[in-house]
Structure 1
Amino acid sequence: MKEYTVRPNKDADAWFLKIEDVAPEQDFDKKNDAIEAGEKVAQENKPSRLVIYNHLNEVEDEKNFK
């Protein structure tokens, strides 16, 4: 199962969509845009999981795609 994450950058003024929590796949100015892109990529690559972090780098939400 592939895992995708949406995480803030160091200053929490941009958001990264990462695959397997390694190198950023894409970066976004808005968190909602990163979440939408993450949901789309995870949906296209089932089975997968999307983990969303808040601005403090704490897990805020997890979504599974089967």
Structure 2
Amino acid sequence: MKTYSVVPNKDAAGWYVKIENVAPTDLYDNKEIAVEKAEELARKNKPSKLFIHDKHHEVEDEKSFK
């Protein structure tokens, strides 16, 4: 199962979409857009999980795609 994450950059001015907790793939200015893109990737690569972090790097939401 692949895992995806939406995490803030160092100063929470941007949001990364990460795959398998390795190097970030894309940086977005808006968290909502980053979440949409991560959900799209997770849906295309089922089964997968998506972890959405807040600006303090704590998981605020988790979604599964089967």
Q: TM-score range by the shorter chain?
A: over 0.9
Q: How does 1:14-25 map to 2 (within 5 A)?
A: 14-25=14-25
The percentage of counterpart residues that share the same residue type is 55
Question: Structure 1: how far apart are the matches of 2:5 and 2:65?
Answer: 13
- Using the TM superposition, give the Cα deviation of residue 21 of structure 1 relative to its aligned residue in structure 2, in angstroms: 1.0
Residue 36 of structure 2 corresponds to residue 33 of structure 1: no
Q: How does 1:1-66 map to 2 (within 5 A)?
A: 1-66=1-66
What's the TM-score once normalised by structure 1's chain length? 0.99
- Using the TM superposition, give the Cα deviation of residue 53 of structure 1 relative to its aligned residue in structure 2, in angstroms: 0.1
Report the number of matched residues.
66
Cα RMSD after superposing both structures: 0.3
Unaligned stretches of 5+ in structure 2? none
What's the TM-score once normalised by structure 2's chain length? 0.99
- Using the TM superposition, give the Cα deviation of residue 30 of structure 1 relative to its aligned residue in structure 2, in angstroms: 0.3
Segments of 4+ moved more than 6 angstroms: none
Equivalent position SS for 2:49? strand
Unaligned stretches of 5+ in structure 1? none
